[in-house]
Structure 1
Amino acid sequence: MPARISAALVAALVLGPIAALAWRGGGLSALGPADLEALWFTLWQAAASAALSCLCAVPVARALARRRFAGRGLLIALMGAPFLLPSVVAVMGLIAVFGRRGLVNAGLGALGLPELSLYGAQGVIVAHVFFNLPLAVRMLLHGWQAVPAERLRLAAALGFGPADIARHIERPMLRMVLPGAFLAIFLVCLTSFAVALILGGGPRATTVELAIYQAFRFDADLGRVAGLALIQVGVSVAALLLAARVTAPPAFGAGLDRSLTLPPPGGWRRLKDAAVVAAAALFLLLPLGAILARGLPGLPALPAPVWQAAGLSLALAAGATALTLALTLPLALAAPRARWAELAGTLPMAASSLVLGAGLFLIARPLVAPTALALPVTLLANALLTLPFALRLLLPEARALAADYGRLADALGMQGLGRLRYLTLPRLARPLGFAAGLSAAFSMGDLGVITLFSDGRRQTLPFALYQLMGAYRMDQAAAAACLLMALTFGLFWACDRIGQNARPD
């Protein structure tokens, strides 16, 4: 029963806004040539961002897979930081490095070379690569680690060199992993909002998400909003279906779970591996260092409204996390026996926060003032959009729990709250903690629905940071970015730590 209630709520909260947009869309008649240009830019920048992320990730993942060095584990963990980093903070860090007065342009100016511009299509793509390169590296690294040790032992026995290993082991693995990685990143870039809001704009660098925001916030053209939102949903659903179709099962066969790494070649390949790892680390970590260097001294002088916005963001993150877990846990427990539970958990991937916000606005508009919806709709959207990630984290452990303890618990008559307290929660503590940390981090850094509904008096911390940047108060913006980054990573660490400590002995 709890799983059915959860599935019904998720379906209503996702399909209801989409249905409202479809009813208001008027057959997409409100769309014009500029909207088609926004669709084209959204598609090609997402494809370019995904292709560059995967292309750059291949040599980095290969180097990390076949090299062992001091600090390797820490470096892999730190390279994942941009995935949790709030978009507005990451964009500010990129501006500090690649912007008009950034470190790169300062170096180019000293050499007498022309400056680089971070704004426009190139800036959107650079930011998306910054966010998604760590994701691509982790996915490809898992692919290398999944190659059975027996294959590597056989390759060594046959005297395979680096070229032979690339041909017979690495390229087949990449053909299995790369399409899924590309489509996952493509889908993320389709619904990116903060990056396009800050670095994009203009007729040639407007995404569908940004066009929805402009039509809603500045033009109040609800027909156009509805049409753009439906296009966004259609493209997202098509990408999801394609991703499910091209995802291939492992084709290397089963191994004996022995740990064995790729043979590390020497010579120039050693230097190349060191160079690509150093370049990737510099690209991903330098913007974070630039923010910390500029923002930390200004933390004590932040104005009171920024601290109030931080408190509001913490409250929203706590509420969204609690709602995410309350919706996800019943679905994860039911999924081993009911396919519909897993399908319900993937529904939110068909919509973005702006699509959900616009649809909920259309539903509630006759009943309540739009500004009164800012906080509850932000909380709902954040909870729904992190639900698929939380479900993916819980599903493997939930299936193992059902297989290992389900029959025994049924035989002992463990049901309801007793089963939840003594069996489910202790056994799922680790993935629950990680899912809670991920949900809290995403919710803390979201700059989506609040931009549609906020009247400026009630601000979340990302929105306050965005306004400081818009007012060119960059020192205060850097300090607010440091605060947001610290709270985001702190929430993730605390939730994950609680889950780790709550595991049964």
Structure 2
Amino acid sequence: MTTRTDRRIRIGLGIAAALLALGFLIGGVAALSTVGGAVPDLAALLHDPYIRAILGFTLLQAGLSTALSIILAIPFSLALHRSRISGKRLIMRLFLLPQALPVLVGALAVITIWGQNGLVSRGLAALGLPRLDVYGLTGILIAHVFFNMPLAARLVVAGLDRVPAESWKLAGQLALSPLAVFRLIEWPALRRVLPGAAALIFMLCITSFTIVLVLGGGPAATTLEIAVYQALRYDFDPGRAIGLSVIQIALTTLVLIAALRLGRDPMGGFGFGAKARRFDSPSPTRAALDGLIVVIGTLFVASPFVAILVSGLAADLARLVTEVAVRRAALTSLAVSLAAATLSLVVSILVLMAIEALRPAGRDSAGRRATRIGLETATSLVLVVSPVIIGAGWFLLLRQVTNVLAAAPYVVVAINAVMAMPFIVRIVGPALAEAQTHNGRLAESLGLTGLARLAFVDFPAMRQPLALAFAFAAALSFGDLGAIALFGSNDFSTLPYLLLQRMGSYRTADAAGLALILGAITVALMATVERGFTGSRERTA
């Protein structure tokens, strides 16, 4: 096989994989507007006071959640980057876990810490202050900040790590003041990262489902995502669901376009972060303040994990693990997550290899550049459509042609696989690009093509990021509730779905035990990442 033929095969397979993923997304959205002849009346929806209230609350909670996450992440990231405390890498790994923690488990942990009977409320009551009510906007904001502040912090730290080492050294030689360092070095780095981070968090909060479902507390705290779910699951009003879906897709699309116009990839810089050496002037006061900020931020992120452990151990775990329903749900969750992670990994790698094959060795043609940009954009467009909307479309379509319950496992696997693609692409992509930059021409001069090139050039470079990507995708799928919410039944139940049922029937002890099981499996999946990184230098993804 010639090098040109190998490149064409890579490009063809990558385009086919991207079209397959986009076709699944578009098929779900199109089914909402074609099945059953339901035509949404967008004008009537937008003039409906209740829908306008839902739209307003959706934008309010997403905007406040984004602002709080960014505002809190900036001082924490700067303090962590400046400080010389040990365990900085351990903190960065801790801040990776909220993105992989099942959202339902995180919501339950927020109730344990911040609820009316939680630790914070008991402390406030001891001081004679009123207890907190986490059901409503307050709880939604706390949960969103718990999940998204660590993400913003990781992106900011990654941006600071990309500052040239010479800049930090020159700042130390000139003995620049902290204000001058911030103005000349830190703020330009933040300015490049914050628009993309804010856009990503805003999209995640607009399409947030599980947090609002658990902590919403009623009609006054309902988002478009929940309204779509209610319109299909309880009211079975496809026309209303379609209209609400169109409004939500339009909102998220506008946010994505705004992020791309700012010139920043909203998923860029997702990784462990590289080590940067700074030469700031010693200041005991500032060091103490930085240490305090780091401790408070770390405790905020770590406390829900401690709450999960304590409340879970208080449950009857021995009985839970022997229940047939729990074991069946655990096996179903494991099968779905492994299948979804494998499928997502294969499709994402094909797209990435096509992107690298389209990168110019010399002069870049307009057609190749447009195709490459199209493939890169396709992986971000997945963020525009939520799993609830995709599931709703395929739910309506499949019920016309087959038994929905029989097809449910395949649809849930496909949805989870597609939704994990943006993360896999951003984790593995930089490693593959680096391999092509360093070894691409050598591989072509040696005539390495096909499986030989994959084995000797691509796979060694991707091996460690692949471990992270696979574990991350499996953890996301394992704890997902958005896809299973529409397709779940007594015959097809995952651990998150079973946990939601136990919470709905006020079996709080069982819910705490199931949350611990879910969290433990997630940590076990992420622990495989640590083994994959053992003995190797860390890589910024």
Gaps of 5+ in 1: 250-256
Larger mean Cα displacement after TM superposition, 472-481 or 258-267: 258-267
Give the match for residue 323 of structure 1: 343
Amino acid at match of 1:295: G
* Match for residue 87 of structure 1 among 90, 103, 115: 103
Give the match for residue 19 of structure 1: 30
Distance 1:241 1:201 in 2: 32
Matches within 5 A, 1:402-413: 402-413=436-447
Matches within 5 A, 1:202-351: 202-247=218-263, 259-263=276-280, 265-297=282-314, 298-302=316-320, 303-336=323-356, 337=358, 338-339=371-372, 340-351=374-385
Distance 1:214 1:199 in 2: 15
Check whether the contact 1:217–1:452 (CA below 8 A) recurs between aligned residues.
yes
Q: Secondary structure at the match of 2:219?
A: coil
Matches within 5 A, 1:349-360: 349-360=383-394
Amino acid at match of 2:124: L
Give the match for residue 253 of structure 1: none
Give the match for residue 449 of structure 1: 483
Q: Secondary structure at the match of 1:231?
A: helix
Amino acid at match of 1:470: G
Matches within 5 A, 1:353-432: 353-432=387-466
Check whether the contact 1:429–1:499 (CA below 8 A) recurs between aligned residues.
no
Q: CA distance change for structure 1 residues 248 and 448 in 2, over 3 Å: closer, same or farther? A: closer
Q: Secondary structure at the match of 2:222?
A: coil
Q: Secondary structure at the match of 1:219?
A: coil
Q: Secondary structure at the match of 1:26?
A: coil
Check whether the contact 1:357–1:381 (CA below 8 A) recurs between aligned residues.
yes
TM-score with structure 2 setting the length: 0.86
* Match for residue 186 of structure 1 among 173, 182, 202: 202
Give the match for residue 28 of structure 1: 42
1:77-125 CA-partner distances (Å, limit 9, x unpaired): 2233212111011111111111111111111112221111111011111
How far the C-alpha of 1:176 sits from its partner, in A, is 2.4
Amino acid at match of 1:17: G
Distance 2:59 2:228 in 1: 15
Does 1:50 find its partner at 2:50? no
Distance 2:148 2:39 in 1: 33
Distance 2:307 2:228 in 1: 32
* Match for residue 141 of structure 1 among 157, 161, 173: 157
1:251-277 CA-partner distances (Å, limit 9, x unpaired): xxxxxx994315165243233212211
Distance 1:487 1:47 in 2: 32
Does 1:474 find its partner at 2:508? yes
Check whether the contact 2:311–2:512 (CA below 8 A) recurs between aligned residues.
yes
Q: Secondary structure at the match of 2:328?
A: helix
Q: CA distance change for structure 1 residues 176 and 400 in 2, over 3 Å: closer, same or farther? A: closer
How far the C-alpha of 1:362 sits from its partner, in A, is 2.6
How far the C-alpha of 1:475 sits from its partner, in A, is 1.6
How far the C-alpha of 1:236 sits from its partner, in A, is 1.3
Q: CA distance change for structure 1 residues 496 and 332 in 2, over 3 Å: closer, same or farther? A: farther
Check whether the contact 2:387–2:482 (CA below 8 A) recurs between aligned residues.
yes
Q: CA distance change for structure 1 residues 422 and 145 in 2, over 3 Å: closer, same or farther? A: closer
* Match for residue 2 of structure 1 among 6, 9, 13: 13
1:1-42 CA-partner distances (Å, limit 9, x unpaired): 322321221121011222223444435356333222212111
Q: CA distance change for structure 1 residues 143 and 264 in 2, over 3 Å: closer, same or farther? A: farther
Larger mean Cα displacement after TM superposition, 453-462 or 112-121: 453-462
Distance 1:347 1:139 in 2: 20
Check whether the contact 2:245–2:389 (CA below 8 A) recurs between aligned residues.
yes
How far the C-alpha of 1:147 sits from its partner, in A, is 2.4
Check whether the contact 1:22–1:226 (CA below 8 A) recurs between aligned residues.
yes
Matches within 5 A, 1:62-211: 62-211=78-227
Distance 1:377 1:262 in 2: 53
Give the match for residue 366 of structure 2: none
Check whether the contact 1:93–1:288 (CA below 8 A) recurs between aligned residues.
yes
Q: What percent identity do the matched residue pairs reach?
A: 40
Check whether the contact 1:120–1:199 (CA below 8 A) recurs between aligned residues.
yes
Distance 1:9 1:345 in 2: 12
TM-score with structure 1 setting the length: 0.92
How far the C-alpha of 1:156 sits from its partner, in A, is 3.0
Q: CA distance change for structure 1 residues 259 and 121 in 2, over 3 Å: closer, same or farther? A: closer
Q: CA distance change for structure 1 residues 432 and 499 in 2, over 3 Å: closer, same or farther? A: farther
1:296-338 CA-partner distances (Å, limit 9, x unpaired): 2532220331121111100000110111011111110010204
Q: CA distance change for structure 1 residues 14 and 262 in 2, over 3 Å: closer, same or farther? A: farther
1:45-71 CA-partner distances (Å, limit 9, x unpaired): 111101101111111111111111132
Distance 2:102 2:342 in 1: 20
Give the match for residue 39 of structure 1: 55
Distance 2:347 2:533 in 1: 18
Q: CA distance change for structure 1 residues 305 and 438 in 2, over 3 Å: closer, same or farther? A: same
Check whether the contact 2:203–2:383 (CA below 8 A) recurs between aligned residues.
no
Distance 1:199 1:412 in 2: 59
Q: Secondary structure at the match of 2:234?
A: helix
1:229-267 CA-partner distances (Å, limit 9, x unpaired): 111211111111111112459xxxxxxx99431516524
Give the match for residue 3 of structure 2: none
Amino acid at match of 2:397: I
Distance 1:202 1:56 in 2: 28
Q: How many positions carry a matched residue from both structures?
A: 496
